[in-house]
Structures are given as C-alpha cells and as structure tokens.
Amino acid sequence: MATLSELRNIRIEKLNKLKELGVDPYPARSKKTVNNSEILDEFEKHEGKTTTVAGRILSIRSHKNLIFIDIKDASGKIQLYIKQDGINEPDHTKSELGFTEIELLDLGDFVEATGIVTKTQRGEISVQPVSLRILVKTLRPLPDQWDGLKDKETRLRRRYLDTNINPEVYQRFIRRAKFWEVHREFFKKHGFYEMNIPVLENIPGGADAKPFVTHMEAIDQDFFLRISQELYLKRLIGCGYEKVYEIGPRFRNEGLSDEHLPEHMAMEFYWAYADWKEGMEFVKKLYEEILEKVYDGKKKFTIRGYDVDFSKGWEILDFAEAMKKKFGIDVHNTTLKEVEEQIDKYHIKGDFGKNVVRGVDMLWKELRKEIAGPAFLINHPKYLSPLAKTNIDMPHLAERFQPIIAGSELGNGWSEDNDPQRQLQSFKEQQDLRDSGDEEAQWLDIDFVEMLEYGMPPTFGFGHSERVFWFLEDVSAREGVPFPQLRYEMDETTKEIYGL
C-alpha cells in the first residue's frame, strides 16, 4: 500500500501537468448557479435547462467514451454524466479540462460543470456537461469515505476530514449553529438587545473559576480573559437598558472533561423589573423553542445514560429537602464535621479545603447524579449564591434556580442583588476566601459596587453555555465543538513531507 507521501507526490505530478497545459488548478471563483439538492428535489423545473454545479469529487467511473463523476456540495451529491463527444474543446486559460484530461483529476478534487440537466438511461438525475473546470487540485487523499473516519485523535485534530467523511458530525455543527440562532430569534421576539461586552477584564467576576491571565502591552497591565458575562451585562442594566444578552466565548483555566472545555460559547441575559419566578417560566419557553426548531419538536432524549422526557414538564426540587433526604444534614445549619462525614461516607473525591461552603457544594454534586430531569433546583442557601438576591421572607435562601438535566446543572437563574452595601459585603467575604487560598472564590470588584450605588433596578439574570447543546446531542464536550483544544503535536509523516 502506498504511503501518504507517495500518494501526495503522484498528485503533485498531476498538478504540474495541469500547469504545463496552462490550467490554473486554483482559480479565484466559480460560476456555480444552483445547489445539487435543488436539481434532485425539483428535477422537472430544471430538466433540459443549462445549469452550473460544483463540488468535491466523491467517485470517478470510466466506461469507454463515458465518464461518470459524483460530486458533493453542502446540500448533497449529484452525478456528472460526461460524454466524450459532448464536451467542448477546453479553454485551459479558464481552467477547463478536455475529456482525456479528466485522468488528471483525483477523488477529493473540486470541479465545476456546466451542462444540461437530464436523466441517464438508468433514470439517474444528472448534469451532462459541455464544459468541466477544475476548481481545486487536492494534494492529499481523503480517508476512505465508505469506511468512515474512525480514529478519534485524527477526527478531533483534523475536523475538516471528520466532517467530510462523517455526515452525522457535519450535521451536528449545523445544529450547533441553529442552537444559537434560535436563541437570537427568541430574544429578538421578546425585545432583548444583543450587546457585545469585553472579553478582557481588569477583574474577573460573575463565577467561581480560575481565569486565564494575559498582558496588554499598550498600557503595561495584566488582564484576565472573562470567566463570565455577568458583571458587564448588569452594568448595562445600570446604564438604563432593560433587556440585554450576549452570546460569546468565555474562558476558565480549569481541567478538560466530557462536560467542560476551558474555552466555550456561553449566553447570559438580564431582564430588568423581572424576578426569578418570571425568569423560570421564560427559560422553559426558551427550551421549548430550542426543542421545536433545532430538534423538530423532539421531546425524549437519551443523555449520558439518562432518559430525559421534556413532555412530562419540569420537576421542582428544593435544595435543603433534597440534601436532607440524601445526606441527613440541614444545609442551613450544618457543621464541618457533618459535611466531612458525608464526604467520606460517599467516597467523594476532591479537596474542599475544610470549607463548609465548598463541602456542601461537593455533596450537592454527588446528589445531582441521581436526577434525570428536566427539573429546576430552587431555594439554594444564600452562602452558595453571593451575587443573588436574598429571599425577603427567608433570608437564608437565595432567589435562584438551576435547570438540572441528566445529572448536571445546565444553567443558573437568579434575582440579582442590587443592594450595593450587601453586595460589597458579599464581595469581601469572597475575597477573604481567595486570600485564604481558594483560587475559585470571586474577586472584589469595586467598580461594580460603585455602579450599584448609582442604582440598578430589580433584575433577573440567567446564563447557560453550549453544554446544553452537548447534552441534547449526547456527546462529549470535545465532540460538541468543531475545533477542541488539544496539546499541539506534529506527527512524523508531516515532518517528513515538509522537511521539518
């Protein structure tokens, strides 16, 4: 079997022959007039008419004076039915090829064909070209499209091969685009404005996470890649806007897993004069829109081994009641000893630094594994939600909810704490945790406190990331994005080909 280097050299020889003929193997533009699928779907409309199609070559079959070529564009594939006496004398200056020059083409090359839409004797819808142009001469063969691309490392590192060989992966990223498109349509319909906010921040805030650090040479100061969109979007509420959101990347300098990527897309929205209960109903409608428009109304999903049925509605779970039932502790009045005993009993891994708050959070993460959902978790202890509004009737609770699906939290919704003095105290408590060694505790953001002193109306906020999409697709984080972060590597074949 020929090596990749040998196959590449054969293609380079063909490339050079094309150039000797005066053919540009990489012309600047195509004159494509129709997608392949349009001809197949509306044959009667196109039959007998001259049209121009283009795409990547999937197969070439020669039969004496006939050549059949299957080409594929983003919409699908179509057959080129090429007769030796039916193709015009080529103009090489226009990248056209004659019948005998088709032998210089390979699988994977891109071509353009202009001709009559017809059917073959076997009844296959085809384009019968009078001219054939090369658009791209490829130097490397694609993996065998019939066997598929199975090697995971290759699939993740060379996604452009994965999507060309595996149609289910190709379609997944179209759904990913639709996932965010539906968000934008939904928010526009409800009067929200998408506002772009900084990615580089002086003080990272809005979440418990370790940030990436970078340096801005222009002002000789360190900045942090944002871990959340929260605090700047709430500043916009302080600016007088009432319905704002952003969809964009955020960065958390933490581990890779099936559910987490250090860089990922996320959405947060903020709604002035609304509270967490109104917000919860709004989020239900958002999910309904996603299921209807991205998944054609599908309600039942298998996600990470859980059967999730959205047609049953959303269960409401009380945080303290669930924790009491599972661990026998009162989260509003527990001790470090009680928390440690339960962590040891359930063999929960992780260092909580002898911190009751972190310990309770670890216990909750163990409990949530039992919840298939969809469910909303409510009545979180206030100490787990320093930036959320305190429940006026039960000051030990925060006005907050979280969607729980397939054993995981897939978002956060809360009534915002707009009391500047209380917010300052919460920030200081978080800063004390940082100073004592908790790298994920939040930073003291005085500028945000100052904004609150000028006044921010009652506000509801919610955010989720593309983990929602990964879960609905039932794929890992790295399978759920086109280009996941991987350690940079160069294989020996690449070094050999390029002399590195």
Tens digit of each residue's pLDDT (9 = 90 or more) over 232-248: 999 999 999 999 999 99
Confidence band, pLDDT 50/70/90 cuts, at residue 147 = low
Give counts: helices (H), strands (E), the chain: 15, 19
For residue 149, being part of any structural domain is answered with no
Single-letter amino acid, residue 246: E
As beta bridge partners, residue 213 has: 224
The predicted pLDDT at position 148 comes to: 64
For residue 160, being part of any structural domain is answered with no
Count up the domains in the chain and report the number. 2
Confidence band, pLDDT 50/70/90 cuts, at residue 383 = confident
Confidence band, pLDDT 50/70/90 cuts, at residue 146 = low
The predicted pLDDT at position 358 comes to: 86
Q: What CATH number does residue 31 fall under?
A: 2.40.50.140
For residue 58, being part of any structural domain is answered with yes
* Same-domain status, 51 and 186: no
**Cα separation of 122 and 266, whole Å?**
51
Q: What is the mean pLDDT of residues 424-450?
A: 83
Instruction: Supply the mean pLDDT for the chain.
Output: 93
Residue 438 has pLDDT above 80, yes or no: no
Residue 227: half-sphere exposure toward Cβ, Cα within 13 Å: 23
391 or 18: which carries more pLDDT confidence? 18
* Same-domain status, 341 and 423: yes
What is the DSSP pairing of strand 243-251 with strand 193-194?
parallel
Domain span at residue 71? 4-136
CB distance 231 to 206 below 8 Å: yes
* Same-domain status, 92 and 171: no
What is the DSSP pairing of strand 412-415 with strand 459-465?
antiparallel
The gap from C-alpha 109 to its chain's centroid, in whole angstroms, comes to 29
Rounded to whole angstroms, what are the CA distances from 369 to 316, 347, 364, 373?
16, 14, 9, 10
* Same-domain status, 326 and 463: yes
Give the pair of three-digit tokens for residue 94.
């226009």
For residue 312, being part of any structural domain is answered with yes
For residue 297, being part of any structural domain is answered with yes
Q: What CATH number does residue 353 fall under?
A: 3.30.930.10
* Same-domain status, 76 and 198: no
Residues 6+ positions from 308 with CB-CB distance below 8 Å: 300, 301, 302, 372, 373, 374, 405, 406
